[in-house]
Structure formats: structure tokens, C-alpha cells
Amino acid sequence: MHIRDGVRYHQAIPYPGAIFSCTSISHYDRIACVDHARGTDTPRFGIKLATHYVPIDEALTLARRVDTLGYDAVWVTEGRTAPDAVTVTSAMAARTERVQLGTSVLNPYSRSPALLAITAAAIDQISHGRFVLGIGPGDPRLLERQGIPYRRPLTRLREYVHVIRELLAGKNLTFEGETLRVTELELDFGPYDGPIPVYIGATGPRALDQAIQIGDGLLLNVCIPRSAVEQVIGAARSRPGFRVMGNIVVCMDHDREVAIRGAKPLIVGYVTRFPAMAKASGLPDALLERVSAAREVSLDEACAVLPDDCVPQLVAAGDPDDCRRWIRDYTRGMDEALLMPSFGDQKLIIDELAELL
């Protein structure tokens, strides 16, 4: 506990910039020590809820179900102009009891680092130490439409994470970087109990390298082939204790062909809107060009161009057994994995995938 001006509250423990063992007070008390009881062969599974698919009331109901079924986490997306992850995660914190709660992912431009540090500490207090802060470089097109310049994203992200960590550690901070400046700033409170883990969302090679350097964990992007995942896992093992979290789109229907068709618009959307994701998908350049050209005509045209056999390279699509087999194979070597119901009945998908636990 910490006392300031006669007020008592939980205070962050300073973050030393190094990975702790499970015997120290750190984010490993919250996350990694669970693995010792479970065994290291099986990743921790969580559900990611996309607020542009799921209305808020339904998302809160699903979060309670995820908590009851025994999943390890519920993460909430932030993107487009759908409900923001901070508000929804805060509501989930008050309605769940045991699951980890995370943001997938917040950008380093829309909120100042001080505001996000305050927000993260508040959610951590509400959830009694269950919050994980997911941050990524952001969507340049969405930010620029809001009049927010998208400049030097990797530098911005690195400085942003540094400032947040220092503030959450209870320091009186003065910092002048290349993209951020903070002067004699100190929070009036801190996280519930110990440092808040920071996971970095990354896709490209430079972003992945930086994520391993500055994060407690890496949140992989969706629609990445298993071969690329293996390379990332290998690189991440260069830093002991660093966590790799998979990010899996799930399209489920008892009719496999329906599930495959349902997955195609999602894949088309990712590879035509985000160049880094198109490159990371491993799909041939010629095919990506044809899909992009067809998308200029219509989404249906683009889906028709994308071959059916490309779908299982990138997402879990099929009947419940198909999806469970795909997920078990895809998540080998991962520490954690988020499963995002994207096509099909959300509750059915969550219930069916609980057999993985």
C-alpha cells in the first residue's frame, strides 16, 4: 500500500526493465505461474471479442460465460469506429471474477501515454489485478481520417511504452523523446498489485523485433501461416520468459463449406486493407494482386478469386472438430492463444472450443 495526502491505495512496484522469475512480484505472478500447474505443452486459451461484430450487451454476457467455462482470458478488440476496448473491458472487469482481461490492441496516438497509464491502472484496480495492456502501432488510415498524423510508428510505440511503464511504476517522470514529452508527471495511484503486463501487437519484421525487445509478450496478428508463426516463436525464445500469444480467427458451422465461404470475406478484408498483413499472409503476390483488383469490383468478386484451399492456411474454418484440430496444431509452441469467433454463432463457438481447455 502507498499513502499520499492521507489517502491509501495500491501502488505499482517499480518495473526494473528485466524479466522476473515466478518467485518475484511481477506479471509472472499473474500469468506465467499458471503454466507450471497446467504444464507447458498446452497454451492458455482465451476468447477475443470483436466489438464491430458483437453488441456491447452480448459481449458482456459472453464474457461472463467465458469466465464460467474456464477459459483463461477475454480480450476486446479496438478498431474502426466500433465501441472502444477500454470502456468494454472496464465493464467486463466488474462482471467477471477470474479471467485475465486485455485490449487487442490500443494505438499509441489516440490517447496520451499518461491517460492510458491512468486508464490501465484503473481497470487493474477494478479487476483486482487481472488486466493486461495490449498496444500496437495502429491503423494509419483510421487515424488520419480523424486528423491524427501517423508518424514514426515504431519510435512512437517504443517511447509510449516506456512512459507508461515508468508512470505505472510510480515514478515522477520527466522524459523528452523524439515523439513524446512528459514533464514532472506522477500518477496519484497505481495498479492493483504489481506491474501490468504489456503485450505488443506486431506484424512486420522490424515491428516483431521491437516487440520482443520492449514487451512482456507478443500478440501475433491474425491470418499468419503456421510457418511464419514457427519463425516468430524461435526468435522470441532468445528472450527468456517472453510470451507469444496467437491470434486466431474462427469460422465455424456444421457445414464445412458454409464455414469456408464465411471465412473468405474476412481474409479478403485483411489482405486488401493492410499491406503488412497481405505480405505476412504468405499468399502468392500474383494471387494477392488478383484479389485486390477483384475487390475494386466487389467483395463477392474478390471472394470468388480466393481459392478455398487458401482458407485453412490462415484461419480455423470448418465444423467444430475441424476447428479444434486446426487450433491444436496451429498453437504448438505458443504460450497463449486468443480465439476470435468471426463467423457463426458466437456462443456455440465458445462452447465448442471449451473442449480445448
Q: Is residue 23 part of a domain?
A: no
One-character DSSP codes across 239-307 = STT-EEEEEEEEEE-SSHHHHHHHHHHHHHHHHHH-HHHHHHT---HHHHHHHHHHHHH-HHHHHHHS-
Q: Mean pLDDT, to the nearest integer, of 212-216?
A: 97
Mean pLDDT of the chain: 90
- Cβ-contact 280, 228 below 8 angstroms: yes
Q: Is residue 18 part of a domain?
A: no
Q: What is the pLDDT of residue 36?
A: 38
Q: Is residue 284 part of a domain?
A: yes
Q: Is residue 222 part of a domain?
A: yes
Q: Look up the pTM and report it.
A: 0.90
Please give the tally of structural domains in the chain: 1
Q: What is the pLDDT of residue 33?
A: 43
Q: Which three cell numbers mark 168?
A: 505505472
Q: Is residue 12 part of a domain?
A: no
Angle made by CA atoms 327, 332, 335, in degrees to the nearest 5: 100
Domain encompassing residue 269: 44-356
Strands 181-185 and 7-9: unpaired
**Residues 6 or more apart in contact with residue 116 via CB below 8 angstroms:** 106, 133, 135, 160, 164
Q: Is residue 342 part of a domain?
A: yes
pLDDT digits (tens, 9 = 90+) for 76-130: 999 888 999 999 999 999 999 999 999 999 999 999 999 999 999 999 999 999 9
Q: Is residue 170 part of a domain?
A: yes
> Where is pLDDT greater, at 24 or 233?
233
Q: Which CATH number is 167's domain given? A: 3.20.20.30
pLDDT digits (tens, 9 = 90+) for 278-327: 999 999 999 999 999 999 999 999 999 999 999 999 999 999 999 999 99
Q: Is residue 29 part of a domain?
A: no
Q: What is the pLDDT of residue 29?
A: 53
What burial class does residue 336 get, using C-beta atoms within 10 Å of its C-beta: 0-12 exposed, 13-18 middle, 19+ buried? buried
What burial class does residue 109 get, using C-beta atoms within 10 Å of its C-beta: 0-12 exposed, 13-18 middle, 19+ buried? buried
Query: What is the rounded distance in angstroms from the CA atom of residue 154 to the CA atom of residue 162?
Result: 12
